[in-house]
């Protein structure tokens, strides 16, 4: 059976679910002290260095519709961590009965800063909220992941970004409803929240901290949390599988890839493993084909169930075992693979 990173459902979801069930519930670290500056409490995952407190409140931007989309207003809200959870709850009330989940997470891909995952199809709002409830503590605290949902009828988006700013994007007819809700929470419009000159600082004004408690191999880390969210919300990576470009749109050609693949044995369905593959490929689709062919020819007793992760790697970051790999390669091929059974 050939499976793609864009097929996160059915058989693959079942296999991923089996892997997820082996993991313990996530826990947050208890040794972190929450930072506070001028009454603004930061999430545990962000530690200020020279970072000033933001102006708590919201900014408002009118967004004209394009390609048939309606005109909207985008509210961007920044408030102290202790007030954020209740506000998000009310904001989710603007979502209709069916929504499309969204997750953004810092990427390990050498040529992309963020990985954006979108739901493959709309799900019920209550289903979305059940998953949110389970992971809310982490989503409110971790500075490297953002999550939310949007919908087309009406055109609404509610999204918590990695800095824990809350985006509420609604049709112009819903502006007063959102303003009334924000007023109930004591949130007022401001000229700016975070200072615009932060991005020009010579030194990083803050640093990220790990918030998950990882005691051993069975403790879920952020990669495994993402795997769980992909399964529960049926998410797919939002990239063009046939292109290979960086964040600026520059074409990259053949580059080095690293993949971790979920697999099960044909003769023992309850026996699984993680297959690590290093390869040269010119696109995600080509990498998928290489992986499937590698299973067929070199791992015939194993079935490829889907990608746990797949990232492009800079040549200088290749492992020692690939030290003799030439910097320029003319053909797509697998260079190395290994398997860790469980």
What mean pLDDT comes out for the span 243-255? 96
pLDDT number for residue 9 = 33
DSSP string, 115-180: EEEEESS-EEHHHHHHHHHHHHHHHHH-TTEEEEEEETTTTEEEEE-TT--EEEEEEGGGHHHHHH
User: Could you tell me what percent of the chain has a pLDDT over 90?
Assistant: 79
* Residues pairing with 338 in the sheet: 276
| More confident site: 335 or 153 | 335
**Quick one: pLDDT band at residue 175, thresholds 50, 70, 90?**
very high
pLDDT the model gives residue 180: 98
Q: What is the DSSP string of 203-233?
A: S-SEEE---B---STTS--HHHHHHHHHHHH
- CB count within 10 Å of CB 205 equals 15
Confidence of residue 201 (pLDDT cuts 50, 70, 90): low
Number of C-beta neighbours around residue 74 at 10 A: 15
Q: Could you write out the DSSP letters of every residue in 32-87?
A: ----EETTEEPPTTEEESSPPPP--EEEEEEE---TTPPPEEEEEEE--HHHHHHH
Question: Nearest-CA neighbor of 115 among 317, 332, 315, 312?
Answer: 312
Question: Is beta strand 166-171 parallel, antiparallel or unpaired with respect to 145-151?
Answer: unpaired
pLDDT at residue 5 tops 60: no
Task: Please write the tens of the pLDDT for every residue from 97-130.
Answer: 999 999 999 999 999 999 999 999 999 999 999 9
Q: What is the pLDDT of residue 67?
A: 80
| pTM score | 0.87
SS3 46: strand
Read off the tokens for 156: 């609404």
pLDDT per residue as tens digits for the range 300-316: 999 998 888 999 999 99
Contact (Cβ atoms closer than 8 angstroms) between residue 106 and residue 162: yes
pLDDT digits (tens, 9 = 90+) for 59-85: 999 999 888 788 999 999 999 999 999
Give the start-to-end residue ranges of the domains of the chain: 21-208, 246-341
> Which residues neighbour 64 within 8 Å (Cβ) at sequence distance 6 or greater?
71
Residue corresponding to tokens 């997820």? 20
């Amino acid at each position: 059976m050939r499976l793609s990173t864009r097929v996160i459902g059915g058989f693959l979801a079942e296999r991923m679910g089996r892997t997820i069930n082996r993991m313990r519930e996530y826990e947050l670290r208890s040794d972190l002290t929450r930072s506070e500056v001028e009454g603004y409490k930061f999430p545990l995952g962000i530690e200020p260095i020279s970072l000033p407190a933001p102006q708590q409140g919201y900014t408002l931007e009118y967004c004209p519709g394009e390609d048939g989309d309606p005109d909207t207003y985008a509210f961007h809200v920044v408030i102290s961590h202790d007030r954020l959870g209740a506000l998000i709850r009310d904001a989710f009330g603007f979502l209709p009965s069916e929504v499309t989940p969204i997750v953004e997470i810092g990427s390990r891909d050498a040529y992309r800063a963020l990985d954006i995952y979108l739901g493959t199809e709309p799900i019920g709002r209550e289903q979305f909220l059940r998953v949110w409830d389970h992971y809310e503590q982490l989503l409110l605290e971790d500075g490297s992941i953002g999550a939310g949902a949007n919908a087309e009828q009406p055109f609404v988006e509610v999204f918590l970004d990695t800095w824990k700013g809350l985006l509420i994007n609604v049709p112009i007819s819903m502006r007063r409803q959102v303003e009334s809700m924000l007023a109930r929470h004591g949130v007022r419009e401001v000229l700016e929240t975070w200072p615009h000159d932060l991005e020009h600082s010579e030194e990083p004004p803050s640093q990220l901290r790990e918030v998950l408690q990882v005691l051993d191999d069975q403790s879920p880390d952020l990669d495994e949390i993402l795997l769980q969210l992909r399964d529960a919300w049926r998410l797919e990576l939002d990239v063009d599988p046939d292109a290979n470009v960086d964040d600026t749109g520059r074409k990259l050609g053949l580059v080095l890839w690293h993949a971790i693949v979920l697999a099960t044995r044909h003769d023992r369905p309850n026996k699984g493993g993680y297959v690590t593959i290093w390869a040269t490929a010119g696109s995600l689709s080509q990498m998928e084909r290489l992986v499937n062919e590698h299973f067929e020819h070199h791992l015939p007793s194993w079935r490829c169930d889907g990608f746990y992760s797949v990232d492009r790697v800079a040549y200088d970051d290749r492992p020692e075992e690939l030290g003799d790999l030439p910097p320029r390669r003319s053909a797509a091929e697998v260079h190395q693979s290994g398997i860790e059974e469980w």
